Amino acid sequence: MTMSDAFWEKKRIAVTGGSGFLGSYVVQALQRRGVRQDQLRIPRRAGDDLRRWDACQSVVAGQDVVIHLAATVGGIGINREKPGEFFYDNLMMGVQLMEAARQAGVGKFVAVGTICAYPKFSPVPFREENIWDGYPEETNAPYGLAKKMLLVQSQAYRQQYGFNSIFLIPVNLYGPRDNFDPRSSHVIPALIKKCIEAVASGAPTVEVWGDGSATREFLYVADAAEGIVLASERFDGDEPVNLGSGNEISIRDLVTLIARLTGFEGQIVWDTTKPNGQPRRQLDVSRAARLFGFHAQTSFEDGLRRTIEWYRRSLQP
C-alpha cells in the first residue's frame, strides 16, 4: 500500500459536485487510490441543495474529509447575465458547508476556489501573495469574490478553531465531459463546438468574442483532479495554492489551434463589441510543486485532441 492509499484508507469522504465535470475526475482519482464507493458521499443538487443549511449539515455528517467542488459556473456571457445568482449560490454553498463541517468535526476541508478571484491587473504570472492587490475583472467579479470568501473563512477558522481547511486556486479547466452548452460553456468547449459545427455545415466563418488579445492558461481536468487529491493528502497549510500548467496562450492563438485540430479552414470573425474578459491569465505554480509535488502532466495539444475526440463521439447517435 502506498502512502497515498494509506491516507484514504477507512476515511469517509464527501465530494460536493462529485457528479460534475471536475468532480467526476476527482472521484476517479480517489478510486485509483483504493477508495471504495461505500466511503464516498456524492451529494446531488436535487436532493442536497447546498444553499440550504440543513442540506449542508446532512452532507458533512460523519465525514472525515470534505472536498468542496460544487459551484454555479459558466463563461463570460452567463456571468454577465446572472451576477447575483452566481454570487449568492457560490457564497451560500461555501460558507454554510464549511461551518457545518466545522461543527460536525470534519478532519479536513478542501475548498476549491477560482482564478477569477485574482485582481484584474495582477502581475503575470499570478502569485498567491497578489490575490488581495485589487478588484477582480468585472464580468466575473461576483463569482470570483464569492469563492474568495472561502479563503477568508478557511484562514479565520484555522486561527480561531484550529480547523484544518485548505484553499486551492485552479486555473481554467478543460477536457472530456466538459460543458458544451453555448449559453454557459467556457471558451474551449465553445470554440470546439463552433468549429466542428462549421466544418459539418460548410460554414465559411466562425465568430469569436473580443479581439483575441487576451491570454489564458488552461489545465487539463484530470491533472487538476490529481492536484486536488495530492493537496488533500499532503498539504495542511493556511496559504492559498495555485493549480495550473504555468503556460499562457492568447485567445487568437487558441482559436487558430482549435481550428487546425478540428479541420476548420474558414475565416475567424472577431466580435469586438463583446468583452475580452481579464487581459492576461497565467499562474505561478511553484508553490504547489514545493508543498505537495504537483506538476501538470498533459500537454495542451494532447489535452485538446482528447477533448475534441470525446466531443465528436458524444455527437454520434
143 touches 94 (CB < 8 A): no
The residues with which 136 forms a beta bridge, in sequence order, are 119
Q: Residue 278, Cβ neighbours under 10 Å: how many? A: 23
DSSP helix, strand, coil percent of the chain (3-state; round to 5): 50, 15, 35
130 touches 119 (CB < 8 A): yes
Active-site residue identified among 25, 88, 118, 143: 143
What is the crossing angle of helices 251-262 and 300-315, to 10°? 50
| Residue 3 burial (C-beta neighbours within 10 Å; 0-12, 13-18, 19+) | exposed
d(C-alpha 29, C-alpha 40), whole Å: 12
116 touches 90 (CB < 8 A): no
d(C-alpha 23, C-alpha 8), whole Å: 17
143 is catalytic: yes
Which residue, 52, 144, 148, 147, is CA-closest to 100? 52
CA dihedral 186, 40, 56, 45 (to 10 degrees): 50
d(C-alpha 175, C-alpha 100), whole Å: 32
Distance, C-alpha 310 to centroid of its chain: 19
d(C-alpha 167, C-alpha 169), whole Å: 7
Distance, C-alpha 80 to centroid of its chain: 19
Q: Look up cell 503556460; give the residue.
A: 247
d(C-alpha 52, C-alpha 71), whole Å: 14
Residues tagged active-site: 143
